[in-house]
Chain A
Amino acid sequence: MPILVNGQPREWTAGLTVSMLLEEMKFSFPLKTVFVNGKRIPKSEHSRKTLSDGDKIEVIHMMSGG
């Protein structure tokens, strides 16, 4: 069962943490907030929080622009 990232399906591997996901997707913009199944995960816990099969993840980037 894939996980959903901002509505896009993505294949899940065991032990995948939030920060590994962000790394993989190259989501490097600093002003962003991560929700897993609607619950906000503060930045300090990104490396500790592991994702489970079928999770619904939203990575909301705050707007910016030069």
Chain B
Amino acid sequence: MAQLKIEPEKIDAIISKWNSDAEFTIEMMQDVQDLYRHLPRQALMRISKATKTDLGRLYHIATFYKAFSLEPRGEHSIQVCMGTACHVKGATRVMDALARTLDVEPGKTTPDLKYTLEGVRCLGCCSLAPVVAMDDEIFSHVDSSMVTRVMRRHERTMRERGEEGDA
């Protein structure tokens, strides 16, 4: 994965999309996170200057909300739903299995920056519990023994999408 180049004009475009409104700094940061899969320091500095909010306040936001990370996250995100419904149907076993397969602790990113494994609160489709979301593809009724199969199926969809030139 090429090291992500930070283009200031893209950050400024995001800031002006939310017309430099200090009440929408969180939305700006979400767009930056989507673009670079983390919040580069340069982005926080530019948002701070444009919205006239101090860097400390943005830094608190960046380390408070789950959506943000200061370090680059993996190219693909694997989210295991840890909602109550999924929990009672074995979500913890699924998380352990994924952690073992990817050899990475929950909440961390694989060294090759390919996968980030994290537990999320509730994806809101409890009737499919236990649920695992890989990027925007949702897998239902996942149990700990299906983990390797699910990973392979996701890679196949990624390849299909890859061929269609999707970014």
Q: Please say whether the chains A and B touch (CB closer than 8 A).
A: no
* B positions within 8 Å CB-CB of A: none
